A and B are shown apart, each in its own frame.
Chain A
Amino acid sequence: MIPFLLRRLVQSIPTLFLASILIFFVIQLAPGDFLTPAKLNPNISPESLAALERNFGLDRHPIEQYFLWMKNMLFNFDLGLSFSYQQPVLDVIKPRIANSMYLVLLYTVLFYAIAIPIGVFGAVRQNSLGDKTINVILYFLLGFPSFFLALIVIYFILQVRTATGWDIPINGMTSNGYDSMTPVQKFLDIVKHLAIPAIILAVSDAAGLTRVIRGQMLEVMRSDYIRTARAKGVSERTAIWKHTFRNAILPIVANIGGLLPSAVAGAGFIEVVFAYPGMTPMILDAINAQDLYLIAGFTVITTVLLVIGNALSDILLAVVDPRIKVG
Chain B
Amino acid sequence: MKKALTLALALTVGTAAAQSAFVWPAAWTAEQNTANKRGGELRLSAISDFKTMNPFTSSEADSIPDRMETGAGLFTQDPRNDEFIPYMAAAPAVVSNNNKRFVVKIRQGMKFSDGQAITADDWVTTWKIHTDDKVGSNSRDSFFLVGKPITVKKIDNYTLQFDFPQPSASALSILSYAPWPDHVFGKAYREGGADAIKKMWGLSTPASQIVSPGMWVVESYRAGERTVFKKNNNWGDWNKDSRGQELPYLSNLSVRIVADANASLAAFLAGQIDIVGMRNADDLAQTKRAIDNGSLKAFLKPNVSPQATSQWITFNWNKASDPAKQKLFRDVRFRRAMSHIANRQAMVQLALGGLGSETYFSVYPIFKNQIEAGLAAGAPQYKYDLAQASKLLAQIGYTKKNAQGYLVDKSGKVLEFNLSTNAGNTVREQLGRIFADEAKKVGVKVNFTPIDFNTLVGQLTSKGENRPFDAILLGLSGGSNIWSFGSNVVPCGGNLHSYNNPTDGKCATSQEQLMTKLYYQGDAELNDAKRRAIGGQLMKAEGELQPVIYLVGGNFHVAFNERLGGEFAANMMDAYYGQRFQALTFIK
Contacts and interface: CB of A to CB of B under 8 A. Distances in A.
Interface of A: 30-33, 36-49, 51-52, 55, 84-87, 91-92, 94-96, 99, 158, 161-162, 171-174, 176, 178-179, 272-273, 275, 277-278, 281-282, 285, 290
Nearest to A92: B203
A40 B259 contact: no
A143 to B, nearest CB: 24
Given A42-B479, A278-B224, 11 more contacts: A36-B458, A37-B453, A42-B489, A46-B488, A84-B51, A95-B224, A158-B270, A171-B258, A176-B226, A273-B259, A275-B263
B204 A91 contact: yes
Interface string B129-169: 00001101010111010010000000000000000000000
Contacts of B51: 84-86
A85 B52 contact: yes
- 7 closest Cβ pairs, A-B complex: A32-B454, A277-B224, A42-B486, A95-B223, A51-B133, A86-B57, A87-B202
A281 B202 contact: no
B455 interface: yes
A278 B204 CA distance: 16
Given A42-B488, A92-B203, A171-B263, A31 B455 contact: yes
A96 B136 contact: no
A90 to B, nearest CB: 10
A311 B535 CA distance: 70
A48 B225 contact: no
Interface majority SS (helix, strand, loop, mixed), chain B: loop
Contacts of A95: 203-204, 223-224
A275 B257 CA distance: 8
B141 A48 contact: yes
B496 A277 contact: no
27 contacts: A31-B452, A32-B452, A36-B453, A36-B458, A37-B453, A38-B59, A42-B476, A42-B478, A43-B487, A44-B141, A45-B147, A45-B488, A47-B147, A51-B136, A85-B202, A85-B203, A86-B51, A87-B202, A91-B203, A95-B203, A171-B258, A172-B226, A173-B225, A179-B220, A281-B224, A281-B259, A282-B49
B222 interface: yes
Interface of B: 41, 43, 48-49, 51-52, 54, 57, 59, 133-134, 136, 138, 140-142, 144, 147, 198, 202-204, 219-220, 222-226, 228, 254, 256-259, 263, 267, 270, 295, 452-455, 457-458, 460-461, 474, 476, 478-479, 486-489, 495-496
B23 to A, nearest CB: 32
A100 B474 CA distance: 38
B144 A86 contact: no
A84 B474 CA distance: 24
B550 to A, nearest CB: 14
A173 B56 CA distance: 30
Give the residue among B223, B256, B461, B474 with the most A Cβ atoms within 10 A.
Answer: B223
A44 B452 CA distance: 22
Contact of A48 (B41, B140, B257, B454): B140
A8 to B, nearest CB: 33
A272 B49 CA distance: 13
Nearest to B219: A179
A73 B136 CA distance: 24
A163 B266 CA distance: 17
Contact of B457 (A37, A161, A162, A277): A37
B487 A32 contact: no
Contacts of A45: 141, 144, 147, 487-488, 495
A32 B270 CA distance: 39
B136 A275 contact: no
A42 B198 contact: no
Nearest to A42: B486
B224 A96 contact: yes
